[in-house]
Structure 1
Amino acid sequence: MHSPHPEPDRRDTLIARTGIAYFPLALVARLPFAMSVVGVLTLLVSVRGSVELAGLGSAVVGIASAVFGPLIGAAADRFGQRPTLLATAGVNSVALGLLAWTAMSPLPPLAVFAAAFLVGASVPQTSPMSRSRLVTIIRTELPAERRPRTISTVLAYESAADELVFVFGPVIVGLLATTLGAWAPIAGAAALTLLFVTAFALHRTSVSATSPAERAATLAPAAELLRPALLVVVLGIFAVGTVFGSTLTSLTAFMQARGSAESAGLFYGVMGVGSAILAICAALFSPRFTLRMRWLVFASCIVIGEAILASASAPGRGVGTVALGLAITGIGIGPLLVTLYGFGAGRSPEGRSATVMTMLGSGIMLGQSLSAAATGIVAESQGLAAALLLPLCAGAATVLTGAANWLLTPRTAR
């Protein structure tokens, strides 16, 4: 006699489709980019002796990645992830080697910037492509009743993985640079790219290329990417990027004023670790706590945290105020990123998943690069108090985009 409540088939799980080795592989494969941005900064400061040159070189890497990321995502949607990742991994490894050679040569700064631009333009978009792969598998291969919860869990995990990589990437750079030399982080990033991004590209989950006929039938027009409901998500994640860049730069200026600039990374980790933990917890939220509501709630947490951080320059305030502000900011950032990627996945036009995910990843990088440069200029010209106000302005932008999204999201949408 059959049970009226049969047990679920273990083969109908995401891990059964991907294999358990997929997740550590995808985690390590996204590490080189986190190492590259900080590694370029470390290398140029050490070899060229100019903080200004190093900051500009690092910003060039981030901006080039933001500009070319969506094009790489579009290539993956059109030709498949495997050839796209293999090509970018090869070019990026060579570009990292070229950058190291150029930095240590007598060539002018323009040559260094050109090499840095090539590094950023060829970054393998591992993180957004992993999101695209997993969401595609869930939507096409798992039972319909499991899809919403599984997608929420996957996006929470992916956001937490990104947070951890960007927290520990600089730590690895510091260890390699102090033990082996300033060239070691760049060499390590090149080696990891060649080995692990190639393995990620060849993994059986890699989205295959489609024929011209299949693309015509399943690929939505590019104009679909310009819908207001999708663009507001891109603007929202760009605002989160400005929170990252302005917070780190103003925090560095604050610690430098106290004679302890090297400890800025440790305090920044307070925000990063808390953000990663809360991102994982986002998968446990009730469906009644809708995505559009989450955007406004967690963006408000960022504003509160950054307001506390902005008050740290007042007399009688100190590192305790900074730590509290960063902790509250982290409570908002992790779940907000999960929410934004959830909107991105839900609003992706058919066949454009990788493009949308790289648009979102590029939005973070562009916001981070531009705000870091702007905050540095403000700190130099207007002082610390003015610089500490910029993260608060960035937090306010996340609330404003959340309000716009509220108006663009139907009341019944979850």
Structure 2
Amino acid sequence: MASTVTPTSSRPGYGQLLRTRGAWTFLLPGFAARQPFAMLTLSIVLLVRHTTGSYGAAGAVAAVTGVSMALFAPYGGRLADRHGQRAVLVPGVVLHTVAGLSLTALALAHAPLWALFAAAVPTGASVPQIGPMVRARWGVKLQGSPLMTTAAAFESVTDELTFVLGPLLATALCTAVDPAAGLVTEAGLTLLGGLLFAAQRSTQPAPVSDGHARVGHVSGLDGHARVEHASALRAPGVRVLVVAFLGIGMVFGGMQVSLAAFSEAAGEPGLNGVLYGIFAAGNMLSGLVCGAIAWRAAPQRRLVVGYATLALAASGLWTAHSVVVLAGLGLLVGMCVAPALITGYTLVEDLVPAAARTEAFTWLTGAVALGQAAAVTVSGQLEDRLWGGAGFLAPMAGTALALATLVALRSRLVPRPRGRTVARGIGHRVPVAVD
């Protein structure tokens, strides 16, 4: 890939990005608000594992949380596009706090598994989608600017910084303070950070009325076109990216469960946060480099090549039998995740107009959550039923299947020409009146 880059001086850098007027008013609250999400899955796994003694049960409860988030996040993104981020965020963080504390109380009371599942549904469904909301605010600030790719890289790095700090904090709280401390802290920080972010009203994208939707159809007998909202998922490229991000989510989920099991088997449960932090640090560092390079290769090609590297790296995780080897492989896998994430988020800018962008971003983050939920479940069962380290087979399988889909459907990632209208599902370059 060396031939595909130019000197970094040929493109705007992070310094120019961070000097964007008004950026810090949403960046700092956004960082505080997204930090708890990095603690959620691991906090649930460690608490439920403590109260039930089973990684399978812990993974299943965490998986219900992830599936609920994946199903409800895009709907929340669409509501944020229509009604504004604050209108969705404020009630959402309150509900999440109540649901998270309820799940904690039920786990400590040794409630039956079905009760934990019931509490996990609203806990996951109400996870605030801070990352997509921040990305949408960048889109408003930088519309048409070459800084958009830099912003995508910066957001990926920010996400990974939270995933360096989050597991470390969750592990420290659950092992040194109390098994419930991680989830209680996550709920409290979500409430505080979410409300602070929601208070930044000046930088949120303006709500989009039906008349400004990205696609629609002509209807009615009066000869007037009525444009209706359509889901960002109708864009073929977004559906391909969803599959790719599912595979990335399986990397996250498989790493969280399998690293926890590996650390416990080694007699050092506190090592889990360190190992996961190394994985996330690799992601963060490669994200910084990726955002600083002016790529000449088309993003579609970069995504396929980068994803192939990720699948190859993930296929070696299950072979690790020592802390040093696992740490090295985790670092390598982390370094391969960021380029795929950054390129995928960058492609959204071309595939989906601003009117549906928050929703599109939430489809991708929801896909990560769904993949994470699947991997948490599968990895937990594999760790319980097979050998130590078998849970790492989930990331290998997930990335391999996603890569096959990405290669087969890569042509759908090429943006379609803008400026088209849709009449009853048929594309026209010029609006057509209906008699």
Q: Do Structure 1 and Structure 2 share a fold, with TM-score over 0.5?
A: yes
1-side partners of 2:258 and 2:388: how far apart? Answer: 7
2-side partners of 1:80 and 1:397: how far apart? Answer: 36
Letter of the 1:157 partner, please give it.
Answer: F
Q: 1:191 to 1:131 in 2, by over 3 A?
A: same
Q: Deviations over 1:108-127 (max 9, x none)?
A: 33222211211111111111
2-side partners of 1:157 and 1:238: how far apart? Answer: 21
Q: Does 1:286 align with 2:286?
A: no
Where does structure 1 lack aligned partners over 5 or more consecutive residues? Answer: 1-7
Which residues of 2 match residues 77-156 of structure 1 at below 5 A? 77-105=81-109, 107-139=111-143, 144=144, 147-148=145-146, 150-156=147-153
Q: Does 1:272 align with 2:276?
A: no
Specify the alignment match of 1:5 in structure 2.
none
2-side partners of 1:322 and 1:106: how far apart? Answer: 34
Letter of the 1:216 partner, please give it.
Answer: G
Q: 1:76 to 1:15 in 2, by over 3 A?
A: farther
Q: Deviations over 1:221-270 (max 9, x none)?
A: 42552232221011111111112223443444555555555524322322
Q: 1:348 to 1:205 in 2, by over 3 A?
A: same
Root-mean-square deviation over aligned CA pairs:
2.8
Identity %: 30
Range with bigger deviation, 336-345 or 300-309? 300-309
Deviation at 1:368, TM superposition (A): 1.0
Specify the alignment match of 1:182 in structure 2.
179
Q: Deviations over 1:45-91 (max 9, x none)?
A: 34455544333222221111111111111110111111100110111
Which residues of 2 match residues 152-301 of structure 1 at below 5 A? 152-203=149-200, 204-210=202-208, 214-220=209-215, 221-222=229-230, 225-256=233-264, 258-260=266-268, 262-301=270-309
1-side partners of 2:329 and 2:377: how far apart? Answer: 22
Counterpart contact for 1:25–1:200, Cα < 8 Å? yes
Deviation at 1:374, TM superposition (A): 1.2
Q: Does 1:376 align with 2:374?
A: no
Q: 1:386 to 1:91 in 2, by over 3 A?
A: closer
Q: 1:301 to 1:93 in 2, by over 3 A?
A: same
1-side partners of 2:255 and 2:154: how far apart? Answer: 24
Q: Does 1:355 align with 2:359?
A: yes
Deviation at 1:179, TM superposition (A): 4.9
Specify the alignment match of 2:406 in structure 1.
402
Specify the alignment match of 1:70 in structure 2.
74
Q: 1:30 to 1:208 in 2, by over 3 A?
A: same
Q: 1:378 to 1:151 in 2, by over 3 A?
A: same
Specify the alignment match of 2:338 in structure 1.
334
Deviation at 1:311, TM superposition (A): 3.4
Specify the alignment match of 1:3 in structure 2.
none
Counterpart contact for 2:58–2:380, Cα < 8 Å? no
Range with bigger deviation, 106-115 or 230-239? 106-115
Counterpart contact for 1:308–1:324, Cα < 8 Å? no
Counterpart contact for 1:239–1:367, Cα < 8 Å? yes
SS at match of 1:207: coil
Q: Deviations over 1:311-364 (max 9, x none)?
A: 335xxxx44432332222222111111011111232124511111010000100
Deviation at 1:412, TM superposition (A): 12
More helix by share: 1
Letter of the 1:325 partner, please give it.
Answer: L
Counterpart contact for 1:103–1:112, Cα < 8 Å? yes
Match of 2:21 among 13, 17, 20: 17
Q: Deviations over 1:93-117 (max 9, x none)?
A: 2222222233333643322221121
Letter of the 1:102 partner, please give it.
Answer: L
Count, aligned residues: 389
